[in-house]
């Protein structure tokens, strides 16, 4: 196996190539991240506050690391009056729910909970997983979260209209970019295009690939899955509210974030997750586990690689962290089975997943189908 000498990606990653110095194409095409700075962020915040409304902005809370930190900053550092909302998607770990409760209490933030679709989303996941495992396609793993995207997106226009709010604080950061999800469908995006206008085109390309896969697998053909799948994509472009993304102004500093939320809000990571990042969703864990077992990498490889490229972490330290994460995944099979059972996934489907991930031929077929 060949590894990039700069980041953590290996030749298992789709569309990767290495130059004569051993540097991968992702590192070569990586543009230097430009942070707009504290002054520019304060100007933005000043602009929001000058509009004198009951609430300055919306903030979506998941109980995860990033939204918790943003809520803390919004109240303590920026003196904003945000209206918080939480779309309970049915996939939140108990520890995450407790994080939310602690946050609302300690920050005394006005929060609206949307809890109507918990059972619908859990039922959707069960149906989609049972269908997926019949003809598993790794790109289609992302359909496991159907229901959540439209659920989250529909909260925003409703609340912004009802409460006359024009802005939303958004926790996106540079390190999340460059995911392999499009690549698993043979679409070679580059991570920066997602932030500079190319994302709509990529989104449509992806919708077409997913639609084609749906047609190939008759097990997906249930009205609930089709209706919610279309609904998710049609609402995927988001609402017409100005987004303020603080992590595009100030570097995403993991140690600083962890320290702040742990000491001020007693934030905790659910113990069965390999890392605090993305520890707010059981489906995210299931998806990452399958990717890691089938392909040898997960979202964490990219997150850490992006941090290395931005000089936010040293390569050796990132490698050590990734090793711990991967060791965790290697010991997670029984927990994943337990989670699948909690969704009432068929026992044959759970067994099929276990067989699939132990089947070296099936795994190598996945790899040869990838555009490497």
Whose tokens are 């490889």? That residue is 301
Q: Which stretch binds Zn ion (CB under 5 A): 17-25, 106-114, 183-191, 292-300?
A: 17-25
In SS3 terms, 223-252 reads as HHHHHHHHHHHHCCCCCCCEEECHHHCCCC
- Nearer Cβ to Zn ion (88/306): 306
At its nearest, how many Å lie between Zn ion and the CB of residue 3? Answer: 8
- Nearer Cβ to Zn ion (23/126): 23
Edge to edge, the sheet with strand 57-60 lists 110-114, 82-87, 57-60, 167-169, 242-244
Q: Which stretch binds Zn ion (CB under 5 A): 7-15, 142-150, 220-228, 343-351?
A: 7-15
Q: Which stretch binds Zn ion (CB under 5 A): 23-31, 215-223, 248-256, 338-346?
A: 23-31
User: What's the rounded Cα separation, in Å, for the pair 370 and 294?
Assistant: 12
- Nearer Cβ to Zn ion (21/240): 21
SS3 346: coil
Q: Mutual orientation of helices 282-295 and 347-358 as an angle, nearest 10°?
A: 30
Residues 6 or more apart whose Cβ sits within 8 Å of residue 265: 68, 72, 99, 102, 103, 106, 107
SS3 272: coil
**Binding of residue 4 to Zn ion (CB under 5 A):** yes
Q: How many residues bind Zn ion (CB under 5 A)?
A: 5
**Binding of residue 16 to Zn ion (CB under 5 A):** no
At its nearest, how many Å lie between Zn ion and the CB of residue 315? Answer: 10
**Binding of residue 27 to Zn ion (CB under 5 A):** yes
Q: Which residue is nearest to Zn ion (CB)?
A: 4
| Beta strand extents in 144-231 (DSSP E only) | 167-169
User: What's the rounded Cα separation, in Å, for the pair 357 and 85?
Assistant: 38
Tokens found for residue 346: 């068929």
Q: Which stretch binds Zn ion (CB under 5 A): 5-13, 98-106, 228-236, 239-247?
A: 5-13
- Nearer Cβ to Zn ion (192/219): 192
- Nearer Cβ to Zn ion (24/345): 24
**Binding of residue 6 to Zn ion (CB under 5 A):** yes
Q: Would you give the binding string for Zn ion spanning residues 331-350, x where CB under 5 A is met? A: --------------------
Task: Find the length of the chain.
Answer: 372
Among 16, 24, 145, 261, binds Zn ion (CB under 5 A): 24
Among 7, 61, 152, 353, binds Zn ion (CB under 5 A): 7
**Binding of residue 142 to Zn ion (CB under 5 A):** no
| CA dihedral over 273, 293, 350, 333, signed as positive or negative | negative
Binding site for Zn ion (CB under 5 A): 4, 6-7, 24, 27
């Amino acid at each position: 196996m060949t590894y990039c000498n700069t980041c953590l990606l290996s030749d298992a990653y789709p569309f990767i190539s290495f130059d004569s110095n051993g540097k991968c194409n992702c590192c070569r095409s990586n543009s230097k991240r430009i942070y707009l700075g504290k002054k520019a962020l304060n100007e933005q915040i000043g602009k929001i506050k000058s509009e004198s409304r009951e609430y300055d902005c919306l903030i979506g809370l998941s109980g995860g690391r990033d939204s918790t930190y943003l809520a803390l900053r919004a109240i303590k550092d920026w003196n904003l009056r945000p209206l918080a909302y939480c779309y309970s998607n049915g996939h939140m770990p108990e520890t995450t729910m407790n994080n939310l409760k602690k946050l609302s209490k300690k920050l005394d933030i006005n929060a609206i909970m949307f809890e109507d679709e918990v059972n619908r989303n859990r039922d959707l996941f069960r149906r989609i997983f049972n269908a997926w495992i019949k003809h598993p396609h790794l790109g289609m793993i992302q359909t496991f979260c159907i229901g959540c995207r439209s659920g989250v997106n529909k909260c925003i226009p409703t609340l912004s209209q009802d409460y006359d709010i024009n802005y939303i604080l958004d926790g996106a950061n540079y390190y999340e970019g460059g995911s392999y999800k499009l690549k698993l469908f043979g679409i070679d995006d580059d991570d920066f295009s997602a932030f500079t206008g190319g994302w709509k085109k990529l989104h449509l390309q992806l919708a077409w690939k997913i639609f084609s896969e749906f047609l190939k697998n008759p097990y997906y053909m249930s009205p609930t899955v089709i209706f919610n799948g279309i609904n998710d994509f049609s609402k995927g472009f988001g609402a017409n509210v100005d987004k303020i993304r603080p992590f595009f102004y100030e570097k995403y500093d993991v140690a600083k974030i962890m320290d702040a939320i742990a000491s001020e809000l007693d934030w905790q990571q659910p113990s069965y997750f390999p890392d605090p990042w993305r520890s707010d969703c059981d489906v995210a864990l299931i998806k990452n586990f399958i990717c890691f077992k089938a392909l040898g990498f997960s979202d964490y490889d990219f997150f850490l690689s992006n941090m290395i490229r931005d000089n936010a972490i040293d390569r050796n330290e990132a490698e050590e962290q990734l090793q711990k994460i991967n060791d965790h995944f290697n010991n997670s099979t029984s927990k994943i089975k337990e989670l699948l059972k909690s969704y009432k996934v068929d026992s044959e489907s759970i067994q099929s997943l276990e067989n699939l991930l132990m089947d070296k031929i099936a795994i190598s077929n996945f790899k040869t189908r990838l555009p490497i």
